Copies of this chain bind each other. A is one copy, B any other.
Amino acid sequence: MQKNCLEVCLTPALLPLYKVENYIVVIIDIFRATSSICYGIENGAEAIIPVSEVEECAAYREKGLNYLLAAERNGEVVTGFDFGNSPFAYTPEKVAGKTVVLTTTNGTHALHLSRQAKRVVIGSFLNLTALCNWLKTQHDNILLVCAGWKNNFNLEDTLFAGAVIEQLKELEYKLDDPAIAANDLYQLGKHDISDYLKKTSHGERLRKLGITEDIAFCMQIDLTTAIPVLEGEKLTKLQD
Contact = CB atoms under 8 A, between A and B. Distances in A.
Contact of A185 (B11, B175, B184): B184
A180 to B, nearest CB: 6
Contacts of A184: 185, 188
B13 A150 contact: no
Interface in A67-89: none
Interface stretch (A48-56, A100-108, A120-128, A153-161): A153-161
Contacts of A177: 149, 152-155, 200-202
Interface string A13-56: 11001000000000000000000000000000000000000000
Interface string A154-183: 110010000000000000000111101100
How many monomers of this chain does the complex have? Answer: 2
A151 interface: yes
19 contacts: A10-B10, A13-B13, A14-B14, A14-B151, A14-B153, A17-B152, A152-B176, A152-B177, A153-B177, A153-B178, A155-B177, A158-B181, A177-B200, A177-B201, A180-B201, A181-B181, A181-B185, A184-B185, A185-B185
Nearest to A151: B17
Contacts of A13: 13-14, 17
A14 B152 contact: yes
Contacts of A152: 14, 17, 176-178
A14 B16 CA distance: 12
Which of A17, A155, A181, A202 has the most chain B CB atoms inside 10 A of its CB? Answer: A181
